Amino acid sequence: MNMYEEFKEKMRKLSDINHSIAVLSWDKEVNLPKDSAPFRSQQIATLSGISHDLFTDPAFGELLENLNNDSSLNAKEKKNVSVTLKDYKQSTKFSSEFVIRMSNLVSQAYHAWLKAREENNFDLYIEPLTALVAIKREEAKILGFKVHPYDALLDLYEPGSTVAELDVLFNDVRNQLVPFLREIRKMDQINNDFLHQHFDENKQWDFGLDVLKKMGYDFDKGRQDIAPHPFTINFSSQDVRVTTRIDENDFSNMCWSCIHEGGHALYEQGIPPEEYGLPTGSSASLGIHESQSRLWENHVGRSKNYWKYHYPKLQKIFPENLSDITLDRFYDAINKVEANFIRTEADELNYHFHVMIRYELEKMLLNNEIEVSELKHFWNSKYKEYLDVDVLDDNTGILQDIHWGHGSFGYFPTYSIGSFYAAQFFEKAVSDIENLEKNIANGQTDELLHWLRENIHKHGRRYEASELCERITGEKLNFKFFMNYAEKKYKEIYKMN
């Protein structure tokens, strides 16, 4: 066996362990009995420690260094080695004890979040979240950073991004999106009350499955379940699972959760199975991943063309709700712009203020400017400042997201980054694919999926996000594409001159 084959074998063994952890985590959020949490946390922590010990084995580091100097490797092989070597050097900064401690604290925080949500009481979450924030501050120091501790954690999800860059991006949001939203508020507002009638749970579920199939999601290599917070998880490109949630009094909740998570799942199912375990067998970044879900959710799933095909079917399923609602009225309603409390239910414009609030709070937490016990106060005040809403209670406020309970600090900005990538990618797809929008109106999205597979999915981590964007569109991420898309769409909907 040559060195590169030895490397691949090691990486696939590690991937087997890490995806076993993922199976336990999926089960934790979908099926776990109420009193089973302590041992499940122990099991995940043990496997996390084993994975860390195997990956940080000095012999593996020596193998990577030797491969990194091997001139016989082709370009893709070199990339797999260099990316893994970077990950290795990063991981060797942490002891096995630290990894197990982190895993236990994440499990404790997650179950505390569930309990706090059950009782609508943030106080029950403060102590475990405080311990988790403390270890995330410790993690940032161990990883190292030049300017801001948040940079260290952000790099885990969006390699190469920094606070300095994101501050510029969110300044664009403030300077361009805020004035546009003010103009929208001056226009006649849209009535979407008919979306909040009673929609039978089973009928919604069946419609969601049909939507996923039509997108190209392969149910022979995946499944959908119910979870408190919709998510996508993969154990290989041949086993990619999605979850949704259903509110019988809000059709939008289930529908766009399915489309959003379906976009994530299509990315994972599009990664070549022969790259399993290797960097070229995983996604480029969280921002690129989010670009796939937001492209399907908004540029496709909230377009009038999409519903020209799907709306007649939906009317037949819910005739008592929708038979007298025209396509134009339905289209306007599903794109209503209105400030709200819940990020996952926000329209695609106000959504970025939800993300910006979390970004600002995370920066403050990591920089020791505020403590967890103060989070609720700052959360509520920022919602008043940015969205002019008074938070009703903890579940519609500080407890709505699962991410902090997962230890995912540095994750939230990727949601906005992904939306901006999505606008840039979709504009290019429309340019490249003849009659794309007409095809979508006929229920045909297979050409779009093929374009995404060829340009994004099949490359894995071969290119960093900014490099991938430039290869596809000819330039790096640019907020102008999102703003142009938003103005064109919403000026029409709100009949703005």
> What pLDDT, on a 0 to 100 scale, did the predictor assign at position 34?
83
- What's CA 319's distance to the chain center, in Å? 34
The per-residue pLDDT for range 381-419, each reduced to its tens digit, is 999 999 989 999 999 999 999 999 999 999 999 999 999
**Could you write out the DSSP letters of every residue in 393-406?**
SSTTTTTS-SGGGG
Question: What residues are paired with 233 via a beta bridge?
Answer: 241
pLDDT digit string (tens) for 459-495?
999 999 999 999 999 999 999 999 999 999 999 999 9
Contact predicate 379/391, CB 8 Å: yes
Collapse the DSSP code of 285 into the 3-class scheme (helix H, G, I; strand E, B; otherwise coil) and give the result.
Answer: coil
Q: Count Cβ atoms within 10 A of the Cβ of residue 146 and give its class: 0-12 exposed, 13-18 middle, 19 or more buried.
A: exposed
Q: Which of 19-23, 34-38, 218-222 tops mean pLDDT?
A: 218-222
Residue 497, pLDDT > 80, answer: no
Sign of CA dihedral 435, 440, 444, 450: positive
Q: Which tokens is 393 given?
A: 């209670």
Instruction: Read off the pLDDT of each residue in 251-264 and give the average, rounded to a whole number.
Output: 95
What backbone phi and psi angles, to 5 degrees, belong to 296?
Answer: -70, -40
| pLDDT tens-digit map of 424-473 | 999 999 999 999 999 999 999 999 999 999 999 999 999 999 999 999 99
For residues 158-180, give the mean pLDDT.
Answer: 93
Query: Following DSSP, what letter does each residue of 40-67 receive, concatenated?
Result: HHHHHHHHHHHHHHHHT-HHHHHHHHHH
Q: Region of 86 please: left (phi>0), alpha (psi -120 to 50) or beta.
A: alpha
Q: Residue type at 158?
A: E
CATH for the stretch 163-493: 1.10.1370.30
Structure tokens at 154: 């952000």
Cα gap 31→332, rounded to integer Å: 37
What are the two backbone dihedrals, phi and then psi, of residue 192, each rounded to the nearest 5 degrees?
A: -115, 25
Dihedral sign computed on CA atoms, order 430, 433, 435, 438: negative
Q: Over the stretch 290-336, which tens digit does the pLDDT of each residue have? A: 999 999 999 999 999 999 999 999 999 999 999 999 999 999 999 99
Considering the chain, what is the average pLDDT of its residues?
95
Residue 125 has pLDDT above 80, yes or no: yes
Share of the chain above pLDDT 90, in %: 91
Band (41; pLDDT cuts 50, 70, 90):
confident
3-state secondary structure of 239: strand
Going across the sheet that includes 239-244, the strands are 224-226, 239-244, 232-236
| pLDDT for 273 | 96
Maximum distance among all alpha carbons in the chain? Answer: 70
Choose among 256, 265, 225, 240: nearest CA to 344: 256
Kindly tell me if the per-residue pLDDT of 31 is higher than 90.
no
| DSSP three-state, residue 161 | coil
| Distance, CA of 286 to CA of 412 (rounded, Å) | 10
The pTM (predicted TM-score) of the whole model is: 0.90
Residue 74's region, left for phi above 0, alpha for psi from -120 to 50, else beta, is: beta
Q: Which of 461, 84, 470, 105 is nearest to 289 (CA)?
A: 461
421: closest CA among 396, 455, 461? 455
End-to-end CA distance of the chain: 68
Q: Is 102 exposed, middle or buried (0-12, 13-18, 19+ CB in 10 A)?
A: buried
Catalytic residues: 261
Count of positions (residues) in the chain: 497
Coil vs helix vs strand at 247: strand
pLDDT for the residue 345: 84
Work out the pLDDT band at 96, boundaries 50, 70, 90.
confident
| 241 sits in which H/E element | strand 239-244
Token digits for 299? 């540029």
The model's pLDDT over 84-95, given as tens digits with 9 standing for 90+, comes to 999 999 999 999
Nearest to 246 by CA among 194, 209, 214, 296: 209
Distance of alpha carbon 490 from the chain centroid: 24
Which run of H or E residues covers position 419?
A: helix 413-432
Q: What is the arithmetic mean of pLDDT over 106-124?
A: 95
Rounded Cα distance, 225 and 242, in Å: 7
Instruction: Report CA 167 to chain centroid distance, whole Å.
Output: 20
Whether residue 132 is predicted with pLDDT greater than 80 in this model: the reply is: yes
The pLDDT, as a whole number, for residue 38 is 86
Residues 260-277 have a mean pLDDT of 97
Q: Where are the domains of the chain?
A: 3-144, 163-493
Structure tokens at 342: 């819940």
Q: What is the pLDDT of residue 271?
A: 97
233 has a pLDDT exceeding 80: yes
